[in-house]
Structure 1
Amino acid sequence: MNQDNATGPIVPFSIDLTFEEARRRAEVVAALGPDWDPLAALRDEEEAYTRLYSGLDAEQQRIYDELVAAGVLPREEPGRAAAD
């Protein structure tokens, strides 16, 4: 199906980015270096999240609870993520 538009025929174009995505991921891992510990990074992230929402006053806690209930903030559980 070849259609014409104001500039000429429309030519289908596609590109497979699988190789480039694999290369990009390999570069990211290489940039992290051999000392990068993903489990330690996850533990540090969990600790930072816990600290961020600790020590809230009553009003802040109420707002936090509302945001969690609405799915804006993730619940406090392993592997948590905010709703889409």
Structure 2
Amino acid sequence: MNQDNAPGLIPFTIDLTFEEARRRAEVVAALGPDWDPMAALRGEQEAYALLYSDLDPEQQRVYDELVAAGVLPGEEPGRAATD
């Protein structure tokens, strides 16, 4: 906003970089020294595999359509759905 159009207003900006770094440090601290990110990832992959295992033919067709449309992630590494 142009200050000429808003007399008396004081510009306000805030940099959240420090707060974001602090938040991330608190999250890592809360996870504790025994947290194993690779084990967590393996667990997620196993859960994903179980979730979509033993589908009947119709369920498999719908699943394949959703993967092709980018709604569900496929089997590729990262498994992030598009858009």
- What's the TM-score, normalizing by structure 1? 0.90
Counterpart position of 1:68: 67
For structure 1, the residue ranges without an aligned partner over 5 or more in a row are none
1:78 aligned to 2:77? yes
Counterpart position of 1:34: 33
- After TM superposition, give the deviation of residue 10 of structure 1 in Å: 3.3
Which residues of 2 match residues 40-55 of structure 1 at below 5 A?
A: 40-55=39-54
- After TM superposition, give the deviation of residue 19 of structure 1 in Å: 0.3
Compare the two structures and name the one with the higher strand fraction.
1
- What's the TM-score, normalizing by structure 2? 0.91
Compare the two structures and name the one with the higher helix fraction.
2
Counterpart position of 2:58: 59
| RMSD of aligned alpha carbons | 1.2
For structure 2, the residue ranges without an aligned partner over 5 or more in a row are none
